[in-house]
Amino acid sequence: MAPIKLEENIREKLQERELQPSSDAWSKLESQLETEDEGSKSKNKLWFAIAASIATLLIVGALVFSPSNQKTSDVVVEDTNTKEQQYNDEVFKENTIVQENNVAEKGIEKEESNNEVLKPNDIPRKSPKSISEEKKVTTQQAVASTETKAIETSTENIKTKETPSFIDTKVTEVVAQVKNSETITAEEVDVLLLKAQREIQAERILNESKTKIDATALLQDVEGELERSFRDKVFEALGENFNSIRTAVIERNN
């Protein structure tokens, strides 16, 4: 018998050898694989959750800190301010209307100083346009008892170009009343002025809701002037005769 290399013999024999595993070997392995799969799935879920939260943080951070977004957020703030302003204006309007009603009820005894207090609230919200259209109706209703006569008044002093005709009409009315009534007193004149002013204010307030223009800013400039210009115009229209008429009336009453 030829000598055989020990290790070669061993290697050949053992490499050819196959040992059949037990019958339940695969099912054991399968169950192990399934638990392994579940573990890896839950791990994957965990990693997904972590990745998602990091991404969310990054996005939120980018939104918060990026300069472009600061701009947009500023815009938003301005919008809300504007809305708040509008809302406040509306509330203010309502208040003003209520105030006016109250004033109208208490009516005639109001002093000029009171009017001056009221005016700043009311005048800012004028809507320039369409006043002339609506004023005619209001004028006829409000001053139904008085005759409307055309009296020349100087409108040069009025800087508000949007509201001249209405104010002019009022001036005309007041002057006409003063001139027509022979028994007019100073208080009555004041009452007439007050009434006319309120009507002008009411007219503007009514019109405001139809415009989108920022009435507050625009008309605040006009505010002081309207008050003066109206009075100025009335007295101007009455002219120097007013004092003499007034004095005469007072003397006669006495």
Please report how close the Cβ of residue 23 comes to other proteins at its closest, in angstroms. 11
Q: What are the Cα distances from residue 145, in Å, to 84, 103, 140, 141, 180?
A: 42, 20, 9, 9, 12
Is 120 within 8 Å of 96 (Cβ atoms)?
A: no
The encoded tokens of residue 150 equal 């055309």
Contacts (CB under 8 A) with other proteins, residues 32-91: 32-33, 36-37, 40
Stretch that binds other proteins, among 29-37, 112-120, 171-179, 200-208 (CB under 8 A): 29-37
Return the number of other C-beta atoms located less than 10 Å from residue 173's C-beta.
Answer: 23
Classify residue 203 by burial, with Cβ atoms within 10 Å: 0-12, 13-18, 19+: buried
**Rounded CA separation 171/175 (Å):** 6
* # residues contacting other proteins (CB under 8 A): 29
Q: Which is nearer to other proteins, 39 or 224 (CB)?
A: 39
Q: Which of residues 159-198 bind other proteins (CB under 8 A)?
A: none
Site string for other proteins, 1-20 (x = CB under 8 A): x-xxxxx-xxx-xxxxxxxx
Q: Which is nearer to other proteins, 20 or 113 (CB)?
A: 20
Shortest separation between residue 54's beta carbon and other proteins, angstroms: 25
* Closer residue to other proteins, CB minimum distance, 13 or 252: 13
Rg (CA), the chain: 45
Question: Which among 21-29, 56-64, 177-185, 205-213 is the span making contact with other proteins, rule CB under 8 A?
Answer: 21-29
Nearer to other proteins, 22 or 145 (CB): 22
Centroid of chain to Cα 128 = 18
Helix (H, G, I), strand (E, B) or coil at 125: coil
Distance from C-alpha of 62 to C-alpha of 104, rounded to nearest angstrom: 59
- 23 binds other proteins, rule: CB under 8 A: no
Between 40 and 95, CB nearer to other proteins: 40
Distance CA 216, CA 86 (A): 10
Residues that bind other proteins (CB under 8 A): 1, 3-7, 9-11, 13-22, 25-26, 28-30, 32-33, 36-37, 40
